[in-house]
Structure 1
Amino acid sequence: MTYQLHVGRCEDVLKTLPDNSVDAIVTDPPYGLSFMNHKWDYDVPTVEQWQECLRVLKPGGHLLAFGGSRTYHRLVVNVEDAGFEIRDQILWIYGSGFPKSHNLDGDFDGWGTALKPAHEPIVMARKPFKGTVSANALNHGTGALNIKACRIPHQTINGGNLADNPHLRGTKLRAAPVNTSFGREGEETPLTDKSGRWPANIIHDGSDEVIASFPEAKGQQGALTGNEPSSKMGAANCYGQMDRRHESIPRIDSSKSAARFFYCAKVKPKERDEGLERFIATSASDMTGGRKEGSVGINDPRAGAGRTSGAKNNHPTVKPIALMSYLCRLITPPGGTVLDPWMGSGSTGRAAIEEGFNFIGIDLNPDYVTIASARIAHSFKKTTEAA
């Protein structure tokens, strides 16, 4: 398990990497929103930048890249024009966003200019390859998704007795034909089995607001009933085993709500600053030429990002490690290398290292690379000591 961090423009650094040398790309690139007046967010990545990503990715390797709800189309078109095959879109749904709306008065009292932001889309793309998925997986380790490692655990009751699980009791396991698996073409693969539900293209934050948006249905969903330390949770959560290291995990009542989807809350201050004990707390305004910290502008969909007052990690758009771990695990073969060309403060790097993958990170801002280096070193030390 190794990691390397680079300062510079991603396309320049990528040109120093060999063809077909990384297994997966997981990244949160610029959204093209001029976020908080940051120059790095003036535009989405270019076709040329994605072409360099495509070149270093192994045949069949997957890309997962976050986008903004208003500029996602530009992101996807550039990814596709670079030569990637668009495979899916994952939605990260959250309840903590707030509307950045200009509210009118007078005759138009009650009218506004923006909806409440509640999701970020993630494009799933794949580098084209020749032959079958099975043959490509044998040759390169890439081309398929690690469904088994990302299944959503069933919510058990009575101390974890699977036979008492209302998800399974009195039902038959459903099956559907698959055309992109390691098995034979046309093989029937269960959508639901004893190891958990098939991962969906929805991820949510477990908030009451999101849970309430799913209809109550026994056997389908499970309500959040509070937070407890992850060591006490047992099987009663929607996190995979590797994600139980981070913060507390909401308990699930499997008779009521949305337990069928993987959930991940937004990043907490403790996680944001792990590994930065010797750093001095700053704010995002320190990197915006004096612009007021947290002033992200009307209609900005990043939903409260940028409010970093008192944080040692002053990157305004930090993603939670549990979320990035899930995404890395979904598309990276065991022992593989994850690339993040727009690394920011290093959440993807922390996730990759804690999942046992190698990592290559690139960022144009040397201050963020310094923060990322400390955070990833923290995860590396924790992971290697545990081993």
Structure 2
Amino acid sequence: MNYALHNGDCLDVLKGLPDSSVDSIVTDPPYGLSFMGKKWDYDVPSIEVWAECLRVLKPGGHLLAFAGTRTQHRMAVRIEDAGFEIRDMIAWVYGSGFPKSRNLEGDWQGWGTALKPALEPITVARKPLNGTVAENVLQQGTGAINIDGCRVPHGEQLRAGSGAIPCRHDEATPRSRAGEVSANARYTDAGGTNFAMKPGPRGGDASGRWPANLIHDGSDQVLQAFPQATGQKASVTGGEPSSTLRAVYEGLAGNRAPMAPRGDTGSAARFFYCAKASKQDRDEGLDGLDLKEGGIKNASGRGFSENDPHRKVMRANDHPTVKPSDLMAYLCRLVTPPGGLVLDPFMGSGSTGKAAIREGLHFIGIEIDAEYFNIAQARINNETINQEQLKKQQELFPAQIDQATHAVA
């Protein structure tokens, strides 16, 4: 696993990179919100920056770029104007945000100026292909997304300790209809060619659910928005209220085919989940750095001041918008071929680089701020050491390491 870090303006550094040399770009650029008065956040990146990103990407390479809800439109338009194809938008939904609202008083008490922030959009864009998707993937290794590598596991996989992506739900076996042919046969006989139709947990394969364009933080606030969805179909009793409803259950020969309950348990929030960056994740590998004021503790969002010293947090990593390594690892894996090269032109404190190294990928990071660059360098170097030690341990004790990994998962 190799990485190269550059402390400088991303536009200058990008111009020094070869054409079609990176496999993916996963980045958390400035949102253009003047966040906490930071000068680097005065605007979203220019078309010129995204054009350089397009140039250094291989044909079919994907770009994943975080944005703010107020400026997502500007981010996406500039990316598109630079020559990218906008493919989708992923929403990262969380419950820990707090509103920065000016609350009114007097006759207008109870009115304010802002909603509670609960999601960050991620623009999904792709450099135009050379030929068809199949041709591009064969030539470049880019152009498609890693569906099977990012499936959301169901309950049985989690209980088996498969080491799969974490999710907070449990699901029983798929529903079945008494007396009918197998699920595989139904799929084939129907002429299905889209493998999303194949039997297994709804939305995909038995190996897990199809990755969605929604990611959530697993918090109680978010899960409460998705009510429990236990079995919705019961066996036919013969007492259905209408002939129309009864006809739904009629077999070809007029015999009723009782429908077994679906048996689904858990909420409808069956998506990949990742909470915001923890203190351990933020500060891992930074033991030698001084602690600094790094933001404001979680608050109710009503009647507090950002300058209140009791709400300040002392951190080695004082970057104000640190993304969790687990989330960045998932995104890197989604759009980067195995052993590929990930670029982050707005590296910040290095979460993308840390994640890429963990995933066994190569990485190029660019950061203009010297203090954040030093933090990123320390975090990524620490992850590299961790992965090298893990590799050596696996070579010496492969069976024991495999068992320990599954036990932790």
TM-score range, shorter chain: 0.7 to 0.9
Q: Contact (CA 8 Å) 1:308, 1:314: kept in 2 or not? A: no
**2: CA distance between counterparts of 1:268 and 1:367?**
20
1:308: Cα distance to partner?
Answer: 6.7
Partner of 1:337: 341
Map 1:247-262 to 2 at 5 A: 255-262=265-272
Q: Contact (CA 8 Å) 1:91, 1:120: kept in 2 or not? A: yes
Amino acid across the alignment from 2:133: V
**1: CA distance between counterparts of 2:150 and 2:231?**
20
**1: CA distance between counterparts of 2:389 and 2:85?**
39
Map 1:9-158 to 2 at 5 A: 9-156=9-156
3-state SS, counterpart of residue 112 of structure 1: coil
Tell whether 2:368 aligns with 1:356: no
Q: Contact (CA 8 Å) 2:223, 2:269: kept in 1 or not? A: no
Tell whether 2:206 aligns with 1:194: yes
Amino acid across the alignment from 2:358: E
Cα distance 1:127–1:219, how it changes in 2: closer, same or farther (>3 A)? farther
Range with greater deviation from structure 2 (320-329 or 96-105): 96-105
3-state SS, counterpart of residue 12 of structure 1: helix
1:167: Cα distance to partner?
Answer: 4.7
Cα distance 1:259–1:170, how it changes in 2: closer, same or farther (>3 A)? farther
Tell whether 2:221 aligns with 1:209: yes
Tell whether 2:172 aligns with 1:166: yes
Q: Deviations over 1:305-325 (max 9, x none)?
A: xx8721101111000000000
User: How many residues are aligned here?
Assistant: 328
1:218: Cα distance to partner?
Answer: 2.2
Partner of 1:267: 277
Q: Deviations over 1:142-169 (max 9, x none)?
A: 000000000000112995499x952524
Cα distance 1:195–1:18, how it changes in 2: closer, same or farther (>3 A)? same
Partner of 1:382: 386
1:310 to 314, 327, 332: 314
1:93: Cα distance to partner?
Answer: 0.1
Map 1:173-252 to 2 at 5 A: 187-190=193-196, 191-218=203-230
Q: Deviations over 1:139-195 (max 9, x none)?
A: 000000000000000112995499x9525243758979xxxxxxxxx9321242110
Question: TM-score under structure 2 normalisation?
Answer: 0.76
Partner of 1:371: 375
Where do 5+ consecutive residues of structure 2 fail to align? 163-169, 178-182, 197-202, 233-262, 392-409
Higher-Rg structure is 2
2:327 to 323, 328, 332: 323
3-state SS, counterpart of residue 156 of structure 1: helix
**1: CA distance between counterparts of 2:377 and 2:175?**
48
Q: Deviations over 1:242-262 (max 9, x none)?
A: xxxxxxxxxxx9712145200
Taking only aligned residues, the RMSD between alpha carbons, in angstroms, comes to 2.6
1:385: Cα distance to partner?
Answer: 1.2
Q: Contact (CA 8 Å) 1:281, 1:312: kept in 2 or not? A: yes
Q: Contact (CA 8 Å) 1:308, 1:316: kept in 2 or not? A: no
Where do 5+ consecutive residues of structure 1 fail to align? 177-185, 221-252, 285-292
Range with greater deviation from structure 2 (188-197 or 274-283): 188-197
3-state SS, counterpart of residue 215 of structure 1: coil
Task: Give the structure with the larger helix fraction.
Answer: 2
Q: Contact (CA 8 Å) 2:226, 2:269: kept in 1 or not? A: no
Partner of 1:245: none
Question: TM-score under structure 1 normalisation?
Answer: 0.80
What percentage of residue pairs aligned between the two structures are identical? 60
Q: Deviations over 1:259-317 (max 9, x none)?
A: 52000000111111000011110124xxxxxxxx549xxx9xxxx9xx87211011110
Range with greater deviation from structure 2 (274-283 or 348-357): 274-283
Q: Deviations over 1:100-155 (max 9, x none)?
A: 11111211111111110000000000000231101100100000000000000011
1:379: Cα distance to partner?
Answer: 0.7
Partner of 1:279: 289
Q: Contact (CA 8 Å) 1:175, 1:189: kept in 2 or not? A: no
3-state SS, counterpart of residue 78 of structure 2: helix
Amino acid across the alignment from 1:53: C
